[in-house]
Amino acid sequence: MEDIELQLKAELLRSLGKIPKKGVENWLKDVKEMIREAQVVENKVSNGRYHCRACNGKLVDEKTQEMKEFLDKAPNASEALAMDGPSGELPLPTSELVGEEAVRKEIWECLMQEKVSKIGVWGMGGVGKTTIMKHIHNDLLKQQRFERVIWVTISKEFNVMKIQDNIASALESKECLDKEEDELRRAAILSEILKKAGKHVLIRVAAMAASWC
């Protein structure tokens, strides 16, 4: 367990944006429970009376065999123990929310509903729209409910093709649009890329509004 934990820690430190593989995470969780159970058996044996020795011996044999089988299922140390995070992105730097928790909660509850596909957040400049959405973005990365969490900033000079380029870049697929100049065809290409990206959240932040779908 200690060897696996050390290797996993090294991989996570070496490559930012990585997360433990689910199988590795589950194995480490289960092995800690197995150790706890073994300590219970050990205490029973240490405190057992003479006439309980046979029962305790059987209990030790069963637990030893169980641990041997569990050890055979240990993650392969010669393979990577971590993988890219759901979005391949890092948390965004942000400031503390002051008096906006109710709005943040409302947005989050809408996001958790399957029937909601698009939400708009709007208001006067400086009221905290972007800050709220940064917190939402970071919360989504932690929760790992979605395979992709994409953050795109839209400049004041609105340009559809630039927005398309920014989304493609966030998906690490910019080369798919490089040779296409028709906005409609580019949109079709992006749509297909997003479908292949799996369940995702696209956060589009503009000068006067923050929206995501």
Residues paired with residue 18 on neighbouring β-strands, in sequence order:
84
Residue 91's pLDDT band (cuts 50, 70, 90): confident
Share above pLDDT 90 across residues of the chain, in percent, rounded to a whole number: 5
User: How many domains are there within the chain?
Assistant: 2
Kindly state the percentage of the chain with pLDDT values over 70: 88
Which position has the token pair 């798919």? 176
Residue 96 lies inside a defined structural domain of this protein = no
Q: Please tell me whether residues 206 and 127 are part of one structural domain.
A: yes
Residue 54 has a pLDDT of 66
CA distances from 83 to 7, 24, 29, 122 (A): 13, 11, 18, 36
pTM above 0.85, yes or no: no
Q: Is residue 197 part of a domain?
A: yes
Distance CA 156, CA 159 (A): 9
pLDDT digits (tens, 9 = 90+) for 20-29: 888 888 899 9
**Which range of residues forms the domain containing residue 128?**
101-212
From 53, 84, 115, the end of a domain falls on 84
In a domain, 93, yes or no: no
Rounded Cα gap, residues 38 and 140, in angstroms:
37
Reported as a pLDDT band with limits 50, 70 and 90, residue 38 is confident
Q: Are residues 106 and 164 in the same domain?
A: yes
Q: How do residues 64-79 score in pLDDT, each as one tens digit? A: 888 888 888 888 877 8
CB 204 within 8 A of CB 211: yes
Mean pLDDT, all residues of the chain: 81
Q: How far apart are CA 148 and CA 203, in angstroms?
A: 11
User: Does one domain contain both 121 and 73?
Assistant: no
Instruction: Let me know whether 35 and 132 are in one domain.
Output: no
Measure CA 65 to chain center: 35
The radius of gyration of the chain's CA atoms, rounded to the nearest angstrom, is 25
Same structural domain, 121 and 208: yes
Domain membership of residue 176 (yes or no) is yes
| pLDDT tens string 177-206 | 888 889 999 999 988 888 877 788 888 887
Same domain, 117 and 178: yes
Nearest by Cα to 105 from 139, 72, 77, 78: 139
Alpha carbon distances (Å) from 11 to 15, 29, 82, 165, 206: 6, 18, 7, 31, 36
Are residues 205 and 113 part of one domain?
yes
- Domain-embedded: residue 69: yes
Residue 213, pLDDT score: 43
Coil/strand/helix, residue 35: helix
- Same structural domain, 204 and 118: yes
71 in a structural domain: yes
Is 123 inside a domain boundary? yes
Domain presence at residue 90: no
